[in-house]
Chains A and B, each alone.
Chain A
Amino acid sequence: MRFPHLRLLAASCFAAGLAHAASFDARLETLFRPPQGEMMALSPDGQRVAYTSELHGRLAIVIIDIDHPGTKRLTVPVASKPDAANPEAEPPVELRFLHWASANRLVYAPAERVVPLPPVTDQDGRSAPNPDGPTILAPIMAVDADGRQRGAVVDAHDFQETPARALQSMADLLRSPAELAALHRDPIHWRMPHLDVLGFLPQDRNQLVIGTYGAYSVPTQYLVDIRLGNVREFGGDWPLPPGEPQVYDWFRRKVVGERREAPRPTTLWQDEDLARMQRVLEAKFPRRTVELRDWSDTHSRVLFCVTGGSDPGRAFVFQRLEDLPLEIFQCAPWLGADKLNPTRWFEFEAPGHAHLSGYLTWPATAGAEPPPLLVVFPAGLPARAQSAFDPEAQVFADLGFAVARLNHRRVADGAKAEDIPALRPGADRIAVADSRAVVEWLATQYQECPFDRGHVAVLGRGFGGFLALRALQLQPALFRCGIAINAPPDLRPWLREQEAGGGARRDAATEAIAVQGADGNEFPVLDDAEMLTNPVLLLVEAGRSAAVDTGTEELRARLTRLGRTPDVLALEPASEARAAVYRKAGEFLRRQFPGVVVQPAPAKDAP
Chain B
Amino acid sequence: MRRIATTLCLLLVLGTGGLCPMLQAAGAPAPAGAPVVLPPMLVEESKSSAPWLYTNVDGTEFLSRCSKPTTEQFIDAWRSKMQLMQVLVPAEFISRMNAPSICVLYSQDLDQTMSAEIQHELQAAGKARDDSPDGSRVNIAPNMRLEDRDMQATIVYIDETQFQGAQVGISANHVRFLLRGRVPDLPAWLVDGFERTWRTADFSLAPITFNPMVWYDSTESDALASDPLRPRALLPANELFAADPERFMENQHPRRVQTRESEQELFVRWALLSSSATREALWKFAARAAETPATAGMFATCFGFDFSELRDRLSDYLPVAVDVTKRIDPGSLPSLAPYEVERATPDQIACVRGEWERLAIWHVQNHMPQAREPYIAQARRTLHRVYDAGDRDPRLLAVMGLCEINSGNPGAAREYLEPATAAGVIRPSAYYELARLRFEDLRRGAPDTQRFSRADLTSIIRPLQRALTQPPPMPDVFVLLAQAWARCADSPDATEFAELGTGAQLFARRPMVAYPIALAFTRHGKTAEAAAVLDACAGCPADEKTLADIARLRADLPVTPVRSPAR
Contact = CB atoms under 8 A, between A and B. Distances in A.
A577 interface: no
A64 B231 contact: yes
Contacts of B444: none
A91 interface: no
Interface in A295-322: 306, 308-311, 314, 317, 319, 321-322
Given A286-B238, A323-B250, A337-B313, A69 B231 contact: yes
Contacts of B229: 73, 329-330, 333
A309 B304 CA distance: 13
B308 A328 contact: no
B468 to A, nearest CB: 40
B316 A328 contact: no
A337 B309 contact: yes
Nearest to A62: B229
A323 B256 CA distance: 7
A599 B281 CA distance: 32
Given A69-B223, A287-B306, A322-B256, A314 B233 contact: no
Among B234, B306, B309, residue most surrounded by chain A Cβ atoms (within 10 Å): B309
B120 interface: no
Interface string B304-332: 01111101110110000000000000000
B44 interface: no
A66 B229 CA distance: 13
Contacts of B311: 285
A380 interface: no
Given A310-B309, A322-B256, A324-B259, A286 B231 contact: no
Interface string B207-246: 0000000000001000100001111111110110000000
A324 B306 contact: no
B251 interface: yes
Contacts of B230: 69
Given A324-B259, A329-B229, A284 B313 contact: no
B296 interface: yes
Contacts of B223: 69-70
Contacts of A326: 231-233
Given A284-B238, A323-B250, A338 B308 contact: no
A93 B73 CA distance: 71
A283 B250 CA distance: 14
Contact of B308 (A69, A287, A324): A287
A323 B253 contact: yes
Interface string A322-343: 1111111110010011100010
A105 interface: no
A319 B232 CA distance: 12
A319 B253 CA distance: 11
A585 B235 CA distance: 42
A288 interface: yes
A321 B230 CA distance: 21
A322 B255 contact: yes
Contacts of A284: 236, 238-239
A324 B232 contact: no
Contact of A337 (B236, B250, B312): B312
A314 B312 contact: yes
Nearest to A321: B253
Given A287-B306, A319-B233, A323-B256, A336 B316 contact: yes
B263 to A, nearest CB: 11
Interface string B280-317: 00000000000000001000000001111101110110
A473 B313 CA distance: 43
B309 A342 contact: yes
B430 to A, nearest CB: 48
A324 B233 CA distance: 6
Interface in B482-518: none
Contact of A325 (B233, B250, B296, B312): B233
A264 to B, nearest CB: 14
B305 A342 contact: yes
A329 B315 CA distance: 11
Given A70-B223, A322-B251, A333-B228, 15 more contacts: A285-B236, A310-B309, A314-B312, A314-B315, A322-B256, A323-B250, A324-B233, A324-B235, A324-B253, A325-B233, A325-B234, A326-B233, A327-B231, A336-B316, A342-B305
18 contacts: A64-B231, A69-B223, A70-B219, A284-B236, A285-B308, A286-B306, A287-B308, A288-B308, A309-B308, A309-B312, A319-B233, A323-B253, A324-B255, A325-B233, A325-B234, A326-B233, A330-B229, A338-B313
Interface of A: 64, 66, 69-70, 73, 283-288, 306, 308-311, 314, 317, 319, 321-330, 333, 336-338, 342
Interface of B: 219, 223, 228-236, 238-239, 250-251, 253, 255-256, 259, 296, 305-309, 311-313, 315-316
